[in-house]
Amino acid sequence: MYQSIFRPGLFRGRCIVLTGGGSGIGRCTAHELAALGARVLLVGRDAGKLDAVCAEIAAAGGLAHGYSCNIREEGAVRALVAQLVAAHGPLHGLVNNAGGQFPAPLREISQKGWEAVLQTNLTGGFLMARECLEQSMAMHGGAIVNIVADMYGSMPGMGHSGAARAGMVSFTETAAFEWAQYGVRVNAVAPGYIASSGMDQYPPAMRETIRAFPRTVPLHRFGTESEVAAAICFLLSEAAAFITGSTLRVDGGRPNVRPGMPMPALRTDGGATAPFNGFHLAATPRVLEGD
């Protein structure tokens, strides 16, 4: 089973919605939430992937249900959340993890491509959060965690994603203020370079670029999916009861690197920076495997 650092039963009795749960960080987070007792409601466009993750979680003794939905469509999201509440009762948590982008310089991005990325990474998250609030959390409280990205200092080559993620950070801060009256906390997690299956979705031309990412990270490595999942679980838990409107970076310090400054050497034993990996089904992305 998943080897979480959190106490057993942390989320027992809670229903937590997670978008983009069919692969990568979402899949890993779903496993940890279920291992901690949550009933996980997976949302995505690929029903086959969701069913596969639900089967994995069931095999490990957890509870998960998959729901196919295009979160870009307001009516579909409203109907989905109504279905979730009717089937499972109050929604205690939401993890807005669904996202996607494609590499391209700004001058080559069409309006259609720009809007598709913003709809997935920003609009869809807003719609999910608003409906979870309106149909459930406004009555009993809850916690929302929005997954963004390392857009600090810009995202050359993925400006559409950077704009969407920065917008989600601003949305997080505004919702944290406006929704505090309902007992709802809203935070974000910003993963850096994480060794996840999402890396395999980029074109082969980016292979060497991706492999070189750790050279710009003070901790000299990729992060693990488990390290992101742990941050999400913390923000959903009662230990974060006085945290709202914050963005927790999980990036090995990459945004702190400054041009012209030499990268500090890492102690040979790793110190307190050795990778944490509690996910029993974790696999190395193909792009990081040897030739």
**CATH, residue 177:** 3.40.50.720
Whether 270 is in a domain gets the answer no
Assigned domain for 261 exists: no
284 occurs within a structural domain: no
Residue-range definition of the domain harbouring residue 58? 15-250
- Residue 80 and residue 135: Cα distance in Å, rounded? 11
Q: Measured on CA atoms in the order 122, 230, 223, 43, is the torsion positive or negative?
A: negative
Which of 193, 198, 125 shows the shortest CA–CA distance to 165? 125
How far apart, in whole angstroms, are the C-alpha atoms of residue 195 and residue 216? 15
Total domains present in the chain: 1
| 234 falls within a domain | yes
Q: What is the pTM of this model?
A: 0.93
pLDDT value, residue 99: 84
Q: Which tokens belong to 245?
A: 């409107």
Residue 38: predicted pLDDT: 98
Domain membership flag for residue 172: yes
Residue 265 within a domain: no
pLDDT (tens digit per residue) in 46-97: 999 999 999 999 999 999 999 999 999 999 999 999 999 999 999 999 999 9
Match 């598709």 to its residue by tokens: 116
pLDDT at 214 over 90: no
Nearest to 88, CA basis, from 80, 77, 96: 80
The CA distance from 172 to 184, in Å, is: 12
Closest CA to 150 of 208, 228, 212, 37: 228
291 pLDDT higher than 60: no
Give percent of the chain above pLDDT 90. 70
Residue 38 lies in a domain: yes
**Which of the two residues, 264 and 28, has the higher pLDDT score?**
28
- The answer to whether the CB of 196 falls within 8 A of the CB of 225 is yes
* Predicted local distance difference test score (pLDDT) of residue 270: 66
| 28-42, 87-101, 207-221: segment of lowest average pLDDT | 207-221
Tell me whether residue 214 is in a domain.
yes
Distance of CA 189 to the CA centre of its chain: 7
The kind and range of the H/E element at 17 are strand 15-19
CB contact at 8 A, 32 and 2: yes
Average pLDDT score over residue span 17-23: 94
In tens, the pLDDT along 234-247 reads 999 999 999 999 99
